[in-house]
Structure 1
Amino acid sequence: MERVDLKPPSDGADVGARADAYAAAPLLNCLLREVAEPLAGTGERRTYRLPSGRLLRVRGERRPAEPEVRAGGDWHRVGHTELVKLVAEELRRHTGRSNGDLPTEMIDSRDAVAALLAARSRTTAPEDPYLRSEQSLITGHPHHPAPKARGGGPVASWLPYAPEAHARFPLVLLGVREDEVVEEGDTAALDALGGAPPGYRLLPAHPWQLDLVARDLAPAFADGRLVRLGTTGFPAWPTAAVRTLYEPVRDLFLKFSLDVRITNDVRRLWRHDLLRLRRTDTAVTAAFTGRATGAAWLGDRGYRTARFAFEELAVLVRDGLRDRLPPGATALLAAGLVEGFEGSPLAAATDPAAWWEAYLRQVVPPALTAFAEHGVVLEAHLQNTLVAVDAAGTPVRALFRDAEGVKLLADVDRAAGWERLVYCLVVNHLTEIAAALAEHHPGLDPWPAARRELARHDLPEIPVLLASPTLPGKTNLLLRWTGADGADARYLPLPNPLART
């Protein structure tokens, strides 16, 4: 398989050209998956027919590059700006609808990548492999039209808080008048971050979010419901989720609201999600209690907020890593393994087949068992899965996170829950890891091992999955173009590499 390398070279190559390549790859993935018709043929480039009848060809598979359109009997290279226009034209033809916002968002995503690449040239990646994996995602979601858009705000407003720029920064400490505090669950870790004056409770805030909602909070500061208490004397590190921060000394994760659209949703801690948090987290914790496989759940212990700014100032407390890792093991973000970072064990595996089998043994059984025995549908995609590796780089434990994305079969139809699990675990997760592994280790066929691992589990859905010609692929481009709610999921059939032949 031909490898298309989008990693920043060390020779000072043009940042703009690299930003174009990074931004074009996920946009092309969306276009080719959701509205294009693949044409027969082999060779270095693959050709597709678009809804307009135009022909488009690209180089590479996992991260398509160098798009060209057929016109006047010849192929013509399409830059990122022209690609955005082409996508918009094809979507108008395909859907019969217009969208003036998404093309702007695509350009914003590309410009954000350029800013991130420039910032990374002036910074050093963290020494901690876990933090390095969390902060590695320059491409980001590989099937989203604008994975790095940051709400259209000026670069100076968000770059100091960008994980991709290896940011770290102190938290703002606020005091909320006690009669205005709303909380549920275990929030004791928040009180250890600093001190609050009598009659107030401590509430940490993400500085970017505080800037975004400053006007709305002005009355609360004016009448004393809210007071500023300075900042923490230590930094926190933004993870791949941007609004979730990690403080390694205290081994503490904090998740904040962030009133910015990132991928498909405005990243706010919504009231309805917070109100069901304890029920969801309790169910998932029970599914992971006493598991012989040693898989772990990073529980969302509780939340604290202010009554007058329930969603805007909410902060969620999440379990740390250390007591959930085997001795000597290091946690790594699954999405980072796909993106690539210095020291990645996926790239360095000397026996990739054995590495992949170990990976499958850690990741697949917990997700399937949670579904089959506990009615829990994990959102087991790349950004919600950590994989602990031993000193040799071999996967030895999976850790899952984010109760907000979990569904319970008590609340959803089993078929819908299974479809979501297959999308998150197989399409979003295993397919990407398998492709990255095969790219780094040519000649490896990862799918027989995946079939064997899935077949070990006695679920009625497994034989159907292994025999089905298709898998469900989420249509992020069409969802955004049609203005669907961020929580919506619509799927189209994708070829199933697990299918028996």
Structure 2
Amino acid sequence: MHRPPTAEAEVAEELAVVRPGLLPRYEAELPGARAAVLSRLWRGLAHDPLPWVARGERGRDGLTLHLSDGRRLHGPRPDPYATGAYVTVVRLDERAYDDPARLMTDLAVPHSASFATELGHSVASLALSRAGQDGEREAWPENDWAWEQRIVDGHPFHPTCRSRPGFSVAEQLAYGPEHRPVVDLGLVPVRAEECLVTGVWPGDLRDGEHVVLPVHPWQAAHVLKRTCDERLPGRPLMSLRTLALPGGTHVKTSLSARLTSSVRDISLPSVAASAALSEFAGVPAARTDGLLHVTRTLGAAAAGSPDFAAVLRESPRAYAGGGERILPVAALATTELPRSPGWLAGFARLALTVGLRLLELGVALEAHGQNLLVVLSPAGDPLRLVYRDLGDIRVSPARLARHRIPVPELPARMVTDDERTLRRKLFGSLVAGALAGTAGSGEALATALKTAVRDLPHTPDLAALRAGPLPTKALTLMRLSPQTPGDQWAELPNPLH
């Protein structure tokens, strides 16, 4: 039977046309990219509550998953907090697989065909991202966008960490932050009466009676189907659709493509709430004794659609003083700092102090390695944190009321008093996400956490963190159940036990 060309082959064919000199390096990177994605997939297969996995059986040679149809999956004993490529082969009955897309295809469970396609794209794009690195980089970049562009592999635990469906090879090279391009954003004037604007939209993005919206060129070409005469250069950050503009302001643009789990548009309710949410976030942050700052949203605008909107934010660099460095937590793994157990424990103490304090006040942060940044002293010590992008936080009116903090008008999806939901949001993003990705292994994470929690106030939230399994988003289950909206959750062994 004829098999359609794989994503790896399609990328190679395009690369031979648009950047032939990169093709040998791309092909050399493919085995490592397969192992990196397979490692993320095996983590999900082992720990997500997949309905077709009947039970798991740990043995001296690894883990065997007994499927409900009688088949068996076997692989290494998974470390749910390990990053990198530690799984090279998984067996389905007697057949060995080193390709995550082929494994998912042959599993033939509901929605596995579409997920296999995403996995294939993730492998190919990851190999392309790695091939584009020149091997030389500044040890301690001065520009905030340069730190963001060091994060080559994407999400450390998501199987579709580099899947960019709808992007050609030329577009990945032109827009992917790891390829270090300058992206020319389109500037589209919209009549002010047709535009929802909150906050202060700057004068240099106004033209008489028109509001001028920055538009990502991919969005303009593929979704809005229009050309843009005026351009504004920007440096893409690790979220790809957010760019650093000349002068330092960051702009988040609509990008109606699926990156990892979500389509990255900008909802109209989030535009409407952005100014109030930004003003509100500064209140609990001010009660952290200077350990947390939240970047301000300067203005947001939408021309009647989530596909045609933009948000302007101040740069996190505003919160670093002379000689200090600020970088996304995801970029810490590109430095030598996390290799020191003492440094890692100090950073974990800082992050948990801030996260638990905000949670006690009534705000659960989505504190993963992209949203959370750390300010380092000239000697490299973690001093304080900066948080950006408030769109996925959760807010508890009951907790806020206990601390006499007024509750703003927010989108309904952000508001909850359910303690499990609040704790999942923080623990899943901060501990199972940012701290685990920085530590790089369960052993290093456990050592850091056990040292860090000794000095923390004994609150009910800390007790909950120490007591049960650690929640994390079930990223593989979510991609295999597209009919189920919202987050789904898995439980990981608690490194504090």
Letter paired with 2:435:
L
Distance 1:201 1:40 in 2: 60
For residue 451 of structure 1, the aligned residue among 428, 450, 453 is: 453
Partner residue, 1:16: 30
**Residue 84 in 1 paired to residue 71 in 2?**
no
Aligned to 1:319: 314
Paired with 1:49 and 1:252, the residues of 2 have a C-alpha distance of: 49
2:371 maps to which residue?
Answer: 384
Please name the residue that 2:400 is paired with. none
- The letter of the residue matching 1:79 is D
Paired residue for 1:414?
418
- Partner Cα separation in structure 1 for residue 117 and residue 196 of structure 2: 38
Task: Please say if residues 298 and 401 of structure 1, whose CA atoms lie closer than 8 Å, have aligned partners that are also in contact.
Answer: yes
Aligned CA distance change for structure 1 residues 408 and 41 (closer, same or farther; 3 Å): same
Letter in 2 for 1:67: V
Deviation at 1:408, TM superposition (A): 1.0
Amino acid at match of 1:54: R
Aligned residue for 1:120, secondary structure, equals: coil
For 1:480 and 1:158, how far apart are their aligned partners in 2? Answer: 22
Offset of 1:242 from its aligned partner? 1.1
Count of matched residue pairs: 445
**RMSD of aligned Cα (Å):** 3.0
**Structure 1: distance between partners of 2:167 and 2:372:** 30
Offset at residue 298 of structure 1 (A) = 1.2
Q: Which runs of 5+ in 2 are unaligned?
A: 1-23, 398-414
Matched, 1:192 2:192: no
Counterpart position of 2:65: 49
Residue 355 (structure 1) aligned to one of 338, 343, 349: 343
Q: 1:402 to 1:111 in 2, by over 3 A?
A: same
Q: Which residue of 1 aligns with 2:238?
A: 240
Give the secondary structure class of the aligned counterpart of 2:306: coil
Contact 1:29 1:142 in 2 (8 A): no
Q: Distance in 2 between matches of 1:91 and 1:32?
A: 17
The residue identity in structure 1 corresponding to 2:117 is T
8 A Cα contact 2:37 2:160, kept in partner: yes
Instruction: Classify the secondary structure of the residue corresponding to 1:276.
Output: helix
Inter-CA distance 273–124: structure 2 relative to 1 (3 Å threshold): same
Name the CA distance, whole Å, in 1 between partners of 2:267 and 2:28: 41
Counterpart of 2:76 in structure 1 is 58
List aligned pairs for 1:264-275, cutoff 5 A. 264-275=261-272
Look up the SS of the partner of 2:132 in the other structure. Answer: helix
The letter for the 2-side match of 1:325 is A
Matches within 5 A, 1:53-452: 53-58=71-76, 61=79, 62=82, 63=84, 64-69=86-91, 77-80=96-99, 83-90=100-107, 92=109, 97-121=110-134, 127-128=141-142, 130-188=144-202, 191-192=203-204, 196=207, 198-215=208-225, 228-232=228-232, 235-247=233-245, 249-289=246-286, 291-307=288-304, 310-337=305-332, 340-341=333-334, 343-347=335-339, 352-373=340-361, 375-410=362-397, 411-415=415-419, 416-435=421-440, 445-452=447-454
Q: Residue 122 of structure 1: CA displacement? A: 9.4
Shift of 1:171: 2.2
Cα-to-partner distance string for 1:453-485 (whole Å, 9 max, x where unaligned): 4xx2343232232132x1212211111111145
3-state SS of paired residue (1:14): helix
Deviations 1:403-448 (A, max 9, x none): 1111111321331212222211222222332335966x9xx92232
Instruction: Output the amino acid matched with 1:302.
Output: G
Cα distance in 1 for partners of 2:342, 2:137 equals: 32
Q: Displacement of 1:160 after TM fit?
A: 0.5
Corresponding residue number in structure 2 for 1:5:
none
The amino acid of 2:371's aligned partner reads N
Query: Scaled by the length of structure 2, what TM-score is found?
Result: 0.81
2:15 matched to which residue of 1? none
Alpha-carbon separation, structure 1, partners of 2:465 and 2:493? 12
Q: Secondary structure at the match of 1:143?
A: coil
Pair 1:322–1:129, CA change in 2 (3 A): closer
Counterpart in the other structure of 1:460? 460
1:4 maps to which residue? none
**Can you give the 5+ residue segments of structure 1 that lack an aligned partner in the other structure?**
1-9, 222-227
In structure 1, what is the equivalent of residue 408 of structure 2?
Answer: none
Q: Which residue of 1 aligns with 2:402?
A: none
CA–CA separation in structure 2 for the residues paired with 1:78 and 1:288: 48
In the TM superposition, residue 313 of structure 1 has moved relative to its aligned partner by: 2.0
